[in-house]
Structure formats: structure tokens, C-alpha cells
Amino acid sequence: MAEDQAVGFICIVILVFIVVYRWNLSPLNNIPTVGSSWVPGLSYLSAIALIRHLKEILQDGYTKYYGSAFKIPLMDRWMVIVSGPKMIEDIRRRPEYELSFTQAVESLLQYKYNVGSKIRDDPYHLAIVKEKLQNRMLADIIPDMIDEVSPAVQRYIPANGKEWVNMDVSSSAFKLVTRTCGRVFAGSPMCNNEEYIDLSVQFALEMLKAGRALRMFPDLLKPIAAVFINKAVKRTSNLTMLRLRPIIRKRIAATMREKEKDRFYRPNDALQWIIDKAVTRHETDIDITERLLLLNLAASYTSSSSLMQVLYHLAEWPELLAPLREEIEGAIAAEGWTMPSFARMWKLDSILRESQRCNGFTLASLVRIALKDVVLDNGMLIPKGTLLGAPAHPMHYDNAHFPNAHVFDPFRFARMREAACDTESAARHQFASTSPEYLPFGHGQLACPGRHFASNQLKAVLSHIILNYDLKLPEPECGTPQRPPNEYLSLAILPPTGGTILVRKRAAPA
Ligand code: HEM
């Protein structure tokens, strides 16, 4: 018995020795650590303890190591954070086979365990979005989205009469975005099917939750943990598939007939774009459904978060409504409810950009995973498997990039556009424009392909709300009303959960 214990003890010592020895050899060891002990086991404990404090840790690392790199502990691995224009440019221009965005998303959302392997191995739905949502293609689809805005706003903004009523910001924003995106994703009438909207929102939230939970397990245990953790995701995608199945079947049949030269009115929506590719690959209804739900996740989580943030800002500063109304009324009078009209709304665009700068939905951007050992331009060796990113939040709060960066200045970018000497420089301050200092949509080749769509969608929804409703924050028991603070969970910036604002139908609606 005593002998067994001794053998066990020696095995543990050898194991610890191997781990520490290997860690000492790792090139990551040469990169300074912020907010944690560098020791492997202790870094895991730090990651748990720091899960709600990465904002401060990133700021600390950014201040100490600007222009270079540092590492922070996440639950399942170290993340290397690089800063300064040279390093950001280096990351941005690296090809996917060196630093992969797709694999980084896979590792954050744990696709392998939460959706079918076909989707992970052949993510053609992403290529579709890149092609179909390009700025020059939007004129074909934005009118459909605009069609959906007025009924959606009336449905999900609870105010009808002159009384102020409470609005659950998160629930309304998710549904407004999912329904208006839904028109371009699943088409009409599915986009206004309440069950479909609820399931799509649920899927997005469950995927994020399951990804977060699975990342806490070592790779070896993930297949077992997934059986319990991915139940909700699987159930939701199956239920959505059952709702979509009649439409998918009908469209597949029509697509096949069309191939035999029959006539078929081809809907211009993501479901059809996916089906066109899926039929040649003999994919199942669940594959098609999961691809659609994943597109909705990419679009709805980010855009809903932007919408929530702006609604909170408008409710905190209702005096912003008057200049915005003047601008929106002018634009609509000139161009109607159209894309050119949204392009004229510089003040609204500016609030969206400023809110994204101050809030955003993630502390780090340009997130990539090294698919092989990579030597960066400054000679730093990044070993295969390392997660990398840029410190978006500290950069957005850096006075060197944005004067008075700690002040929320709603019309900051509208003023910059007005002061610009030519159209090209003015365009750099638009909501959807990216730069090495402004990273909410990433930057470079892989910058978000849906950002121009999101810009039009958010302006369509917000301009409707601003013209037709008054907004304010609930009165606190003492002091002046203040919007509830954001929450921080690992790298995610979450608008306040369960927060409410007060809304009332405007006395003289447009
Ligand atoms: C305010 C709203 C949005 C924000 C803040 C946002 C942000 C981002 C960011 C930060 C990235 C990663 C870029 C990089 O690391 O270089 C990204 C990628 C992506 N976004 Fe968005 N996004 C938004 C809306 C949308 C919409 C409406 C869609 C439409 C489907 C969309 C589809 C995608 C896709 C498909 C990718 C992956 C691109 C790839 O694989 O290269 N996003 N987005």
C-alpha cells in the first residue's frame, strides 16, 4: 500500500516536472504575462479569478507594453495581445493559413461539438455573406429589410398611447434585429414567425454559452462534456429545422426543377443562397438550418448589442433626439426610406460609431489562431495553436487616437466628417469604416463583411424609433438617471442584462 502511494507520488512529481520543463521551453514564456502567474496550473486559476476583470488587465498590459506584446490567461489557453500600428499591421496582413480567423471562431464557439462537422470543414455560408452583402450588392436587398422595419418596431416597442411604458432593452433589440435580418436571411413570411425569431435568438445565446462552457474543459474531456453542454443548442437547431423544413423542401424541389430548365422565382435571401450550394453537396435540412442560424448569430448578436447601447445612450440624453429628428426628417423628405437617405444621416452614423468605440462587443479584436509557428516582423516567435488579438478597448480609449477619449461625444465623428477636406477623408469617419485604431469590425481583408448591411439596418431601425417615440431612463430613487453599466465576461462586453428604459409614443409622429 505504502509502495503504491510512493509510486503514485513519484508519477505526479514526474508529470509536474514534464509540464514545467515543456513550459520553460515554450516561446510563449518569453512574452511578458499580465494579470496572472506564468505557472501553468496557477494561470488557469487566475483565468477563473479574472474572468470579469480582463478590461483592467488589458489596459494594464497596453500601458506597459504598447508597441510590443504581452499575454493574458484565458480559461483554456494563453492569449497574446499585440499593440501599436506596426504589430497590428503585421497581424492584419498575415494569410489565413498562418493566422486564422475561422479557426479562432471555431475555438471560441467550439463548432466541433456544437454543430455538424460539415459546417466546420466547409464554411461556405461565410463566403456567401462576403459575396452577397458587399456594399455594391446591398441595393438589391436593403429595400426588403426596410419593409420589415415599421411592423417590427410597432411589434417590439411596447408603447402605444401617451403613457410612458417600460421596455426590456435586450429582448426588444434582439427581436428587432433578428426580424429585420430575418427578412434577408430566411425571407418572408418566416422572418416574422415569432417561434422562428425566438429560436434564432435562443440559438445565438446558447451557442455562446456552450462555447464558453466547453472551453473550460481540456481537449481530452470535451467530447464527454459536450454530451451534456450542447443539448440546448442541438434541441434549438432541431426545433428550428422543423419550422424551416417545409420551406427548405419546397425550395430544394424548385431549385432541382429549375436545373431541369423549369421556371422558378428565386428568392433573394440567405436561405436560398445556402440551398443553391447545399443541393450540389447533398446536405441535409439540419446542415442548411445550422448554417442559417450561424449567420444569424454573426449578425444578430453584434447588431443587437450595438442597438441596445445606442438606445441606452439616447434614453440617458433625450436632448439628442431633437437634432437627430431634424436630420432624419430632412433625409427622409429628400430621399424617402432608402439607402441614400441613411447615407445622409451623419449624426446618427456618428452616434453609432461613437457608441461602438466606447462600448463595442468585445475587448479584443483581430482575433486569430496560429496554424503553424509564426515569426512576427519584430522577431517574436508565436507557437502553433496560440490565440492572438489586438486590444481594441484600450486602443479606443487612448487619447492619442481619439482626443478626450474617455468622454462619450455623440457627434464627434459627424464633426470630423464635416471638417474633412474631401469625400474620401470624410468617409473614413463613417460607422462602417475601419482603421488600425478603430477595430470594432476588425480591420483589413477579413474585416466584418456584414458591416455595411449592419449600418443600414441599424439606421433604419433607429431612425424609425427616434421619429416615433420619446425615450428616457427610469427615475432613480436619488440623483440623476444614469444608464446601467456594461458587464464584462472574459473578452465579451455585454450591455446591461435585464435593463429597461421608458418609451412613449411621440406626440406628433412622423
Ligand atoms: C454592429 C454589428 C457588427 C459588428 C460589430 C461585427 C463585428 C465583426 C468582427 C469584429 C468580425 C471579425 C473581423 C476580424 O477579426 O478581422 C466580424 C466578422 C464577421 N461578421 Fe460581423 N459584425 C457585425 C455585423 C454583422 C452582420 C450584420 C453580418 C451579416 C451576416 C456579419 C457577418 C460577419 C461574418 C460572416 C464574419 C466572418 C468573416 C470571415 O470569416 O472572414 N457581421 N464581424
Per the domain annotation, does 28 fall within a domain?
yes
Q: Is the CB of residue 269 less than 8 Å from the CB of residue 132?
A: no
Tell me how far the alpha carbon of residue 61 lies from the centroid of ligand 1, in angstroms: 26
Q: Is the CB of 182 under 6 A from ligand 1?
A: no
Q: Is the CB of 202 under 6 A from ligand 1?
A: no
Residues 293 and 349 in one domain: yes
Q: Is the CB of 440 under 6 A from ligand 1?
A: yes
Ligand 1, pocket-test mutation among 354, 441, 453, most atoms within 8 A of CB:
441
State which H helix or E strand residue 505 sits in. Answer: strand 500-505
Q: Is the CB of 72 under 6 A from ligand 1?
A: no
Cα separation of 386 and 107, whole Å?
11
Q: Is the CB of 107 under 6 A from ligand 1?
A: no
Q: Is the CB of residue 153 less than 8 Å from the CB of residue 175?
A: no
Q: Residue for cell digits 429585420?
A: 180
Tell me how far the alpha carbon of residue 435 lies from the centroid of ligand 1, in angstroms: 15
Q: How far is CA 303 from the centre of its chain?
A: 7
Cα separation of 223 and 246, whole Å?
33
Residues 55 and 137 in one domain: no
Per the domain annotation, does 2 fall within a domain?
no
Q: Is 333 exposed, middle or buried (0-12, 13-18, 19+ CB in 10 A)?
A: exposed
Residues 307 and 394 in one domain: no
Per the domain annotation, does 58 fall within a domain?
yes
- Provide the residue range defining the domain that includes 459: 115-361+399-436+440-505
Q: Is the CB of 461 under 6 A from ligand 1?
A: no
Q: Is 498 exposed, middle or buried (0-12, 13-18, 19+ CB in 10 A)?
A: exposed
Atom of ligand 1 nearest to the CA of 368: 15
Residues 323 and 252 in one domain: yes
368 three-state secondary structure: strand
What residues are paired with 82 via a beta bridge?
Answer: 69
Tell me how far the alpha carbon of residue 297 lies from the centroid of ligand 1, in angstroms: 10
Strands (E), 271-372: 365-370
Q: Is the CB of 448 under 6 A from ligand 1?
A: yes
* Nearest-5° Cα angle at 349, 393 to 298: 60
pLDDT score, position 41: 62
Cα separation of 367 and 288, whole Å?
27
Residues 270 and 374 in one domain: no
Q: Is the CB of 391 under 6 A from ligand 1?
A: no
Q: Which residues contact 431 (CB under 8 A, 6 or more apart)?
A: 349, 350, 352, 353, 356, 413, 451, 455, 458
Per the domain annotation, does 289 fall within a domain?
yes
Instruction: Assign residue 308 the CATH number of its domain.
Output: 1.10.630.10
Q: Which residues contact 442 (CB under 8 A, 6 or more apart)?
A: 101, 365, 366, 434, 448
Ligand 1, pocket-test mutation among 309, 358, 388, 448, most atoms within 8 A of CB:
448
Atom of ligand 1 nearest to the CA of 445: 16
Q: Is 255 exposed, middle or buried (0-12, 13-18, 19+ CB in 10 A)?
A: middle
Tell me how far the alpha carbon of residue 347 lies from the centroid of ligand 1, in angstroms: 23
Give nearest CA residue, ligand 1 atom 17.
448
List phi, psi (to 5°) of 444: 90, -160
pLDDT score, position 264: 63
Per the domain annotation, does 80 fall within a domain?
yes
Residues 157 and 38 in one domain: no
Q: Which residues contact 101 (CB under 8 A, 6 or more apart)?
A: 367, 368, 442, 446
What single-letter DSSP state applies at residue 32?
A: P
Residues 106 and 119 in one domain: no
Give nearest CA residue, ligand 1 atom 9.
441
DSSP string of 52-112, one letter each residue:
T-HHHHHHHHHHHHTTSEEEEE-SSSEEEEE-SHHHHHHHHHS-TTTEEHHHHHHHHHTHH
Tell me how far the alpha carbon of residue 144 lies from the centroid of ligand 1, in angstroms: 21
Q: Is the CB of 129 under 6 A from ligand 1?
A: yes
Annotated binding site: 448
Per the domain annotation, does 195 fall within a domain?
yes
pLDDT score, position 23: 61
Residues 245 and 194 in one domain: yes
Q: Is the CB of residue 206 less than 8 Å from the CB of residue 233?
A: yes
Q: Residue for cell digits 496560429?
A: 370
**How many domains, the chain?**
2
pLDDT score, position 17: 64
**Residue 413: closest CA among 442, 474, 455:** 455
pLDDT score, position 107: 87
Per the domain annotation, does 95 fall within a domain?
yes
Per the domain annotation, does 510 fall within a domain?
no
DSSP string of 466-504, one letter each residue:
HHHEEEEPPPPSSS---PPPPEEETTEEEPPTT-EEEEE
pLDDT score, position 25: 64
Q: Is the CB of residue 409 less than 8 Å from the CB of residue 391?
A: no
pLDDT score, position 508: 65
Q: Is the dihedral of CA 85, 399, 52, 60 positive or negative?
A: positive
Residues 182 and 233 in one domain: yes
Residues 393 and 449 in one domain: no
Give nearest CA residue, ligand 1 atom 31.
450
Instruction: Assign residue 81 the CATH number of its domain.
Output: 3.30.43.20
Q: Is the CB of residue 472 less than 8 Å from the CB of residue 159?
A: no
Give nearest CA residue, ligand 1 atom 14.
442
Annotated binding site for heme: 448
Q: Which of 378, 398, 418 finishes a domain?
A: 398
b (16+ CB within 10 A) / e for 120-154 = beebebbebbeebbeeeebeebbebbbbbbeebbe
pLDDT in tens, the chain (510 residues): 677 777 777 766 666 666 566 666 678 888 999 987 666 666 677 777 788 899 999 999 999 999 999 999 887 788 999 999 899 999 999 999 999 999 999 888 898 898 878 888 899 999 999 999 988 889 999 999 999 999 999 999 988 888 999 999 999 999 999 999 999 999 999 999 999 999 999 999 999 999 989 988 888 899 999 999 999 999 999 999 999 999 999 999 988 877 666 566 789 999 999 999 999 999 999 999 999 999 999 999 999 999 999 999 999 999 999 999 999 999 999 999 999 999 999 999 999 999 999 999 999 999 999 999 999 999 999 999 999 999 999 999 999 999 999 999 999 999 999 999 899 899 999 999 999 999 999 998 889 999 999 999 999 999 999 999 999 999 888 888 888 899 999 899 999 888 999 999 998 644
Q: Is 194 exposed, middle or buried (0-12, 13-18, 19+ CB in 10 A)?
A: exposed
Cα separation of 154 and 464, whole Å?
10
Q: Residue for cell digits 496550473?
A: 41
Q: How far is CA 451 from the centre of its chain?
A: 10
Question: CA–CA distance from 159 to each of 38, 179, 253 (Å)?
Answer: 54, 19, 43
Q: Is the CB of 433 under 6 A from ligand 1?
A: no
Cα separation of 51 and 389, whole Å?
17
Residues 460 and 369 in one domain: no
**Residue 448: closest CA among 294, 307, 349, 302:** 302
Grid cell locating 135? 456594399
pLDDT score, position 3: 76
Residues 338 and 456 in one domain: yes
pLDDT score, position 208: 93
